Amino acid sequence: MLPPGPATPAAAQTIEWIARPTHLLRRSAARYGEPFTLRTLWADAPMVLVSDPATVKRVYAAPEASLRGGASSTVLEPFAGPSSILLTSGEAHLRQRRLMLPPFHGERLEAHRATVAALARAELDRWEPGRPLRTLPRMQELTLDVILRVVLGAPAPQLRAAIRDALDMTTSLPRLIALSLAPRGSAPWRPFERAVGRVDALLRATIRARRAVSGERAPGDDHPRPAAQDPAAGGRAAPPVTDEPIAAGGRAAKPILDDLIAAGSTEDELRDQVVTLLAAGHETTAGSLAWALERLARHPRVAARLRDGDDAYLDATVKEVLRLRPVLSITPRKVVEPFPVGEWTLPPGVHVTPCLYLAHRRPELWPEPTAFRPERFLEGAPAPYSWLPFGGGVRRCAGAAFATMELHEVLRAVVRRFELAPDRPEGERMRRRGVTLAPSRGGRVVPLA
Ligand code: HEM
């Protein structure tokens, strides 16, 4: 017996999960209480949702032998690949995490701060005062540019376009529904598979070129590779990292691809690691930035206070955006050993997940939960396991510190340069775009000089 939940067939719940995700979550919590169970075709078994801090803590603290991460994200496999950190578990997962964490922290994170600020200023140069713009696509370009430089050490324009083409295919709701209901390999999947194929070809060529530059060979490869051409960089020779013009103001950091190559990953593993970083490392940050701008345009008082340059208030604003508009709503784990939740014992095979969206709106933890009020984060730290935009435990977002730095730098640059006005008074709804929840009209604002 599982906790109660909607009785509609999985296909109907999948359509609602795609077309009205936050409505489905709110309605289910109100009708069935917590925990409740959803059945969608995005997972191979029912998923039990929880949001109270005590249960969330138990989920994030559970060892992998009890709740396994990586086994609930099969929906991501066609793009991320089977050896993606999002899909591995146990020792394989930890090995990848140990490789990925250092480049996104400490000195290496700081080495990227000037690059992010410079790219943000270059983006703002293109904004025309008085002309409404959709911030989401602009922020996607910007954050993809940032992560390409961090991971590959180069802007890679062709790869950038190919990644956006593939991801943009999952933003049309009818297409996302068709992909979710049809088996992989069937007709609705073909255009997406072709788009992923283009990403793969460019990425593999980039990896080989970088290997040649860094003098590393693929495991099992006895032959030195020829001098590198980097097709993703537009056919130019793969540039040495130190030639990065945008980082001229600061010290250019070693691209993460070099760490991954040095760790002896195979080409297939490198492909999956890199594509995961590129996608996870920009779509989420772009959505959060678009939400920040959508909210700031409707809260000029907050924007004005940010303009005063108070870093604590900037941090509080970023935290409030991530609370009120979490771009990812769940962080599922698969039950391996019977797992007690309330009066139920969840059997092996089902999924259990903290629901970030519902956790961030619990009225006993967040007074006036739907109000955008950064001050709440200056009034004291939130209760443990109540603020979860980056998930938790051994699978907590590897890029959380990096994403926070990006959000700080971009928002700082925007408020210095522009006042923002909404194009309409009413706020935008949370609409599904692939796995993220983004502003329904693309975060439209009017920048004013
Ligand atoms: C505002 C921006 C971001 C948000 C809201 C976000 C959120 C998340 C969440 C909720 C998870 C799942 C955590 C869990 O299962 O407990 C995750 C995982 C991950 N994120 Fe992020 N993320 C953001 C930006 C980034 C960036 C910039 C990068 C890379 C530079 C990144 C890389 C990753 C990776 C590699 C994982 C998998 C971690 C693992 O399985 O060990 N994310 N992220």
Q: How many helices (H) and strands (E) does the chain have?
A: 17, 12
- Counting ligand 1 atoms within 8 A of each CB, the residue from 390, 396, 406 with the most, and so the one to mutate, is 390
Query: What does the alpha-carbon distance between residue 416 and residue 336 come to, in Å, rounded to a whole number?
Result: 51
β-pairing, 430-433 with 436-439? antiparallel
Looking only at Cα atoms, what is the longest distance across the chain? 64
State the alpha helices, DSSP H only, in 215-310.
256-262, 267-280, 283-298, 300-307
* pLDDT value at residue 222: 41
* pLDDT value at residue 319: 98
Angle at 169 between CA 121 and CA 238, to 5 degrees: 55
Residue 202's identity, in one-letter code, is L
* pLDDT value at residue 249: 37
Q: Which of 301, 337, 327 is nearest to 420 (CA)?
A: 301
CA 173 to chain centre: 19
* Three-class secondary structure of residue 47 per DSSP: strand
* pLDDT value at residue 171: 87
Neighbours of 280 (CB within 10 A): 22
Nearest ligand 1 atom, CA 332: 15
How far apart are the CA of 425 and the centre of ligand 1, in A?
A: 32
Q: In whole angstroms, how far apart are CA 202 and each of 40, 159, 162, 196, 266?
A: 33, 6, 8, 10, 16
Query: What does the alpha-carbon distance between residue 23 and residue 48 come to, in Å, rounded to a whole number?
Result: 17
How far apart are the CA of 129 and the centre of ligand 1, in A?
A: 34
Q: Tokens representing 125?
A: 């140069």
Residue whose CA is at the smallest distance from ligand 1 atom 43: 397
Q: Which of 182, 77, 194 is nearest to 435 (CA)?
A: 77
**Which residues lie with the beta carbon below 6 Å from any ligand 1 atom?**
69, 85-86, 97, 100, 104, 147, 277, 280-281, 284-285, 288, 327-328, 331, 389-392, 395-399, 402-403
* pLDDT value at residue 219: 53
* pLDDT value at residue 223: 39
What is the radius of gyration, based on Cα positions, of the chain? Answer: 22
Q: Which of 115, 118, 114 is nearest to 147 (CA)?
A: 115
Residue whose CA is at the smallest distance from ligand 1 atom 39: 395
How far apart are the CA of 14 and the centre of ligand 1, in A?
A: 23
pTM: 0.93
* pLDDT value at residue 295: 98
Query: What does the alpha-carbon distance between residue 427 and residue 447 come to, in Å, rounded to a whole number?
Result: 16
Pairs from 101-104 (Cβ < 8 Å, separation ≥ 24) = 101/398, 102/259, 103/150, 103/253, 103/254, 103/256, 103/259, 104/398, 104/399, 104/401, 104/402
* pLDDT value at residue 212: 86
Exposed, middle or buried, 107 (CB in 10 Å: 0-12/13-18/19+)? exposed
Residue 345's identity, in one-letter code, is T
Query: What does the alpha-carbon distance between residue 389 and residue 404 come to, in Å, rounded to a whole number?
Result: 11
Query: What does the alpha-carbon distance between residue 87 and residue 73 come to, in Å, rounded to a whole number?
Result: 6
Q: Which of 150, 111, 145 is nearest to 250 (CA)?
A: 111
How far apart are the CA of 199 and the centre of ligand 1, in A?
A: 21
Dihedral, 43, 44, 46, 51 alpha carbons, nearest 10? -40
Count how many Cα atoms sit within 13 Å of the Cα of residue 287 in the half-sphere of its side chain: 26
How far apart are the CA of 392 and the centre of ligand 1, in A?
A: 10
How far apart are the CA of 281 and the centre of ligand 1, in A?
A: 7
Crossing angle of helices 267-280/157-168, nearest 10°? 70
Exposed, middle or buried, 320 (CB in 10 Å: 0-12/13-18/19+)? buried
Q: Per DSSP, what are the bridge partners of residue 319?
A: none
Residue 52's identity, in one-letter code, is D
Ramachandran quadrant class, 105 (left: phi over 0; alpha: psi -120 to 50; beta: rest): beta
* pLDDT value at residue 224: 37
Query: What does the alpha-carbon distance between residue 244 and residue 287 come to, in Å, rounded to a whole number?
Result: 27
Q: What is the DSSP letter of 88?
A: -
Count how many Cα atoms sit within 13 Å of the Cα of residue 59 in the half-sphere of its side chain: 32
Q: Tokens representing 117?
A: 């600020």
Q: Are 377 and 319 in contact (CB under 8 A)?
A: yes
Letter string b/e over residues 333-362, b meaning 16 or more CB atoms within 10 A of that residue's CB: bbbbeebebeebebeeebbbbbbbbbbbbb
Q: Which residue has the tokens 């950064």?
A: 374
**pLDDT less than 50: residues of the chain:** 220-251
* pLDDT value at residue 255: 92
